[in-house]
Structure 1
Amino acid sequence: MTAARTEQAPGTRAPDAPENDVVLRLEDLVVEFPAGGGQTVHAVSGISLEVRRGETLGLVGESGCGKSTTGRAIMQLPRPTGGAVVFEGRDITKLSAAELRETRPKLQMIFQDPISSLNPRRRIPDIVGDPLVVWGRRDERAKVVPEVLTAVGLDPEQVADRRPHQFSGGQCQRVSIARALVLEPEVLICDEPVSALDVSVQAQILNLLEDMKARYGLTLVFIAHDLGVVRNISDRVAVMYLGKICELGETEELFDDPVHPYTRLLVSSIPSMETVTGADIEKADRGRGEMPSPVNPPSGCRFRTRCPLATERCAAEVPEMREVRPGRFAACHYPMLEPVGAGAAVEGA
Structure 2
Amino acid sequence: MAGSGTAHLRDGEQVLRVEDLTVTFPAGRRRTVHAVSGVSFDVARGETLGIVGESGCGKSSAARAIMQLPRPSAGSVRLNGLELTGLRGEALRRTRRRLQMIFQDPISSLNPRRRVRDIVAEGPRVWGTLDGDTARIDELLEAVGLDPATAAGRRPHEFSGGQCQRISIARALALDPEVIICDEPVSALDVSVQAQILNLLEDLKARYGLTLVFIAHDLAVVKNISDRILVMYLGKTCELAPSAALVRSPAHPYTRALLSSVPQAPLRIPEEEEKHMAGEPPSPLAPPTGCRFRTRCPRATALCATEEPRMRPLTPDHYIACHHPHTETPA
Fold match (TM-score > 0.5): yes
1:185 aligns to what SS in structure 2? Answer: coil
Structure 1: distance between partners of 2:37 and 2:63: 14
User: TM-score by structure 1 length?
Assistant: 0.91
- 1:17 maps to 11
Q: Which amino acid aligns with 1:316?
A: T
Structure 2 unmatched ranges of 5 or more:
none
> Aligned match of 1:110 in 102, 110, 117?
102
Q: Which amino acid aligns with 2:257?
A: L
2:85 aligns to what SS in structure 1? Answer: helix
Report the CA distance shift for 1:320/1:8 in structure 2 as closer, same or farther (over 3 A).
closer
1:245 aligns to what SS in structure 2? Answer: strand
- 1:295 maps to 285
Moved more, 138-147 or 305-314: 138-147
2:149 aligns to what SS in structure 1? Answer: coil
- 2:70 maps to 78
- 2:261 maps to 269
Q: Is the 8 A contact 1:239 1:247 kept in 2?
A: yes
Structure 2: distance between partners of 1:275 and 1:183: 41
Share of identical aligned residues, percent? Answer: 62
Q: Is the 8 A contact 2:7 2:317 kept in 1?
A: no
- 1:344 maps to none
Structure 1: distance between partners of 2:246 and 2:64: 25
Report the CA distance shift for 1:278/1:306 in structure 2 as closer, same or farther (over 3 A).
closer
Aligned residues: 331
Q: Is the 8 A contact 2:104 2:186 kept in 1?
A: yes
Q: Is the 8 A contact 2:277 2:296 kept in 1?
A: yes
- 1:199 maps to 191
Report the CA distance shift for 1:278/1:76 in structure 2 as closer, same or farther (over 3 A).
closer
- 1:139 maps to 131
Q: Does residue 1:230 correspond to 2:225, yes or no? A: no
Q: Is the 8 A contact 1:129 1:141 kept in 2?
A: no
Structure 2: distance between partners of 1:141 and 1:188: 24
Deviation at 1:140, TM superposition (A): 5.0
> Aligned match of 2:276 in 286, 307, 325?
286
| Structure 1 residue runs of 4 or more that deviate by more than 6 Å after TM superposition | none
Deviation at 1:338, TM superposition (A): 1.4
2:42 aligns to what SS in structure 1? Answer: strand
Q: Which amino acid aligns with 1:202?
A: Q
Matches for 1:91-110 after TM superposition, within 5 Å: 91-110=83-102
1:51 aligns to what SS in structure 2? Answer: strand
Structure 2: distance between partners of 1:49 and 1:183: 25
- 2:203 maps to 211
CA displacement, residues 271-292 of structure 1 (integer Å, 9 cap, x when unaligned):
23x662355x742543222100
- 1:318 maps to 308
User: TM-score by structure 2 length?
Assistant: 0.96
- 2:167 maps to 175
- 1:40 maps to 32
Report the CA distance shift for 1:275/1:338 in structure 2 as closer, same or farther (over 3 A).
closer
Structure 2: distance between partners of 1:266 and 1:85: 28
Task: Provide the aligned C-alpha RMSD in A.
Answer: 1.6
1:37 aligns to what SS in structure 2? Answer: coil
- 1:165 maps to 157
Deviation at 1:226, TM superposition (A): 1.3
- 2:178 maps to 186
CA displacement, residues 104-133 of structure 1 (integer Å, 9 cap, x when unaligned):
110000000000000000000000000011
Deviation at 1:254, TM superposition (A): 0.3
Report the CA distance shift for 1:7/1:250 in structure 2 as closer, same or farther (over 3 A).
closer
